[in-house]
Every structure is written in C-alpha cells, then in structure tokens.
C-alpha cells in the first residue's frame, strides 16, 4: 500500500516586510529557505519540519509557518 502523502507546511512570506537579513535562513535547521534578491524564498518545502524557528526569529514578522 502507498505511503500516505506527507502533510506539507505552509510558509507565508510577506515580501513587503522582509528585508533579506538572512536570519531565518541561518536558523532553519533543515535548509528550507534561501535568499532571492532581497527577499527570502522557499527552496525545499518538503524539508520543513514546522519547527517555527524562522517565524520566531524574524525581527520583522515577515515569515509565518502553519
Ligand atoms: S519552520 Fe523550521 S524547518 Fe520550516 S522553514 Fe522554518 S526554520 Fe526551517
Ligand atoms: S528573518 Fe525575516 S526579514 Fe530576515 S530574511 Fe528572514 S523573513 Fe526576511
């Protein structure tokens, strides 16, 4: 029988608030995030464990994980 599909995290980035400081990228233990220009972007959603470190560490409330 097939494995049930893994429920993926929902990562919401507010591009107007993000200043591209990379704090969230540095704190993410599984390398989910990357910098694209001056804003953070999701590189590997499947790797996200929903630990919410990025959400908690962002000084500008620009990233939220559900
Ligand atoms: S919730 Fe955790 S694993 Fe997911 S992107 Fe944020 S820091 Fe990385
Ligand atoms: S910590 Fe916040 S402001 Fe800094 S890159 Fe991440 S989302 Fe953007």
pLDDT in tens, 47-62: 999 999 999 999 999 9
Q: What is the pLDDT of residue 56?
A: 98
Q: Residue 51: CB within 6 Å of ligand 1?
A: yes
Helix runs in 1-66, H state only: 23-27, 53-57
* Closest residue to atom 2 of ligand 1, CA basis: 51
Beta bridge partners of residue 12, listed in sequence order: 64
Please give the pLDDT value at position 15. 97
Find how far residue 33's CA is from the centre of its chain.
Answer: 5
For a ligand 1 pocket test, name from 32, 45, 61, 66 the mutation site with the most ligand atoms within 8 angstroms of its C-beta. 32
Using CA atoms, how far apart are residues 13 and 4, in angstroms rounded to an integer?
Answer: 28
pLDDT of res. 1: 65
Determine the 3-state secondary structure of 55 from DSSP: helix
The CATH classification of domain 11-65, taken from the options 3.90.1150.10, 1.20.140.10, 1.10.760.10, 3.30.70.20: 3.30.70.20
What parts of the chain have a pLDDT lower than 50?
none
Residue 61 pLDDT: 98
Q: Please work out whether the CB of residue 13 comes within 6 Å of at least one atom of ligand 1.
A: no
Whether the CB-CB separation of 56 and 65 falls below 8 Å is answered with no
pTM score of the predicted model: 0.92
Domain ranges of the chain: 11-65
């Amino acid at each position: 029988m097939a494995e049930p599909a893994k429920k993926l995290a929902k990562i919401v980035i507010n591009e107007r608030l993000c200043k591209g400081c990379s704090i969230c990228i540095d704190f993410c233990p599984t390398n989910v995030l990357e910098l694209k220009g001056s804003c953070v972007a999701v590189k590997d959603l499947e790797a996200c464990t929903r630990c919410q470190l990025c959400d908690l560490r962002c000084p500008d409330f620009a990233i939220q994980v559900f």
